[in-house]
Amino acid sequence: LLLLGLFYVFMTWNFGYWRKRKVPGPKPRCFTGNYPHMYNMKRHAVYDLNDIYSEYKNKFDAVGIYGARSPQLLVINPQLARRVFVSDFKHFHDNEISLMVDEKSDFIMANNPFSQIGDEWKQRRADVTPGLTMGRIKTVYPVTNEVCEKMTEWLRKQIRLPPSGGIDAKDMSLRFTTEMVTDCVLGLKAESFSDKPTPIMGYIKDLFAQPWTFIVYFVLVSTLPALRHVFKLRFVPLPIEKFFVNLMQTAIDARRQQLAAGKQFERADFLDYILQLGNKKNLDTRHLTAHTMTFLLDGFETTALVLSHLLLLLGRDQEVQQQLREELEANLNDKSIIDFEKLNELPFLDACIQESIRIFPPAFMSNKLCTEPIELPNKTGENFTVERGTTVIVPHYCFMLDEEFFPDPQAFKPERFMQPDAVKMYREQGVFMAFGDGPRVCIGMRFALTQIKGALVELLTKFNIRVNPKTRSDNEYDPTAFITNLKGGIWL
């Protein structure tokens, strides 16, 4: 009994952290804090946060919560959320994951801008950003159209096969993004739509199919935060890291051989830029891979999920699907594609993508880190100081699915984004951060949107999309997925 009592005290002794700082919040529970489904994973964590958000949003700007024993500040005022990302950025410069990785545990992830801190992040972003200018994206746009043709051939083949329960939208979308990104970034073919694809797609699936590893780690460091100093997270398993380092070397060797043979390239692609950067900074293949994986990690999985969720929503709403189809068909050229410049001038296409991201935001929440102390107001409560090292949770889902900001929030209504500068307006209100905001806004945003738009032009002008009956009819998230995913999968 004494041991049990001591253990209980250990698990709960930190629960006075926010009370001492006069920050209100819900009562935490032993073991789980304010995440009651932390262990059983029967409900997505963002739904637990939404319950807290709904209870306190009219009273305070932020409340104190706990992940197991670790104190966290939950932002429930969207204007305060925007301050975290934009006006007070210097106080919340880094992401919490920066505490969980280092170069010894995970060289690739530690060199990703998402997990880098301070001047390292600033320099890496400055290094990588020029590789994704609109000019370079336009240069590789023909690749998009080539991959779209392969996707159509593959789809028609699947349709001719005996009934198999429908098309797995996530699988199809991942085939598309794998082929796209591998070619655009590395100049190689993934053969994702062939009968004998390269191992690239398999490794990508393995990379994002290890949620229990992360769940166990997050539970442990939430219970014993000091473990973050001893045990670090490996997001990219060593075999996958070795595969992509070798793949990068293959791409570099192939490009250098082509250049040595006098072949002139019509496109100034990302590999071309990375090779220039490598020569300028004397980077070895491992460092070049780390730079490149910034685009591979973001470009494969996240873009595929946005595309698959949009296909789901269009499949559910034939009227919206037809309206979008008519806009696309009206802008096809004589080659049955849409010119790059026109692709970015289609308001209903943009509206459909943004509305899909609102309902299924890939980043349903952001875990920021306080890097400089700051005093904040708290509506009807007292002002309080956020101390350095505090984890600050920005629950994007709660804002984007709040009927106060988006009436009938679970409904797919692209017209929400048809008014002029709607995205900018919602972003400045803090209620819609599809690709983040402020200095750390997603650097691959324009490349991802071009991929998604290209795929939609191909699919909607060649096919009619309907949802297979085995796909669920609501929008419930998979509780084990760390990137938003419909529970049970999407079947078309």
Q: In whole angstroms, what is the distance from residue 431 CA to residue 425 CA?
A: 9
CA distance linking residue 288 with residue 250, whole number of Å: 12
Angle of CA points 122, 221, 63, to nearest 5°: 75
Q: Is residue 115 within 8 Å of residue 98, measured between CB atoms?
A: yes
CA dist list (Å): 431 to 82, 202, 449? 9, 36, 20
Token output for 418: 């048809």
**Six-digit token string for 346:** 């289609």
Q: Report residue 82 as tokens.
A: 């925007």
CB 89 within 8 A of CB 104: no
The 10 Å CB-count burial string (b at 16+, else e) for 309-333 is bbbbbbbebeebbeebbebbeebee
Binding residues for heme, as ranges, are: 442
What phi and psi values does residue 477 have, to the nearest 5 degrees? -80, 150
Amino acid at 212: W
DSSP string for residues in 397-411: HHHHT-TTTSSSTTS
Residues belonging to the binding site are 442
Q: What are phi and psi of 376, to 5 degrees?
A: -125, 150
Q: At what angle do helices 347-359 and 318-329 cross, to 10 degrees?
A: 140
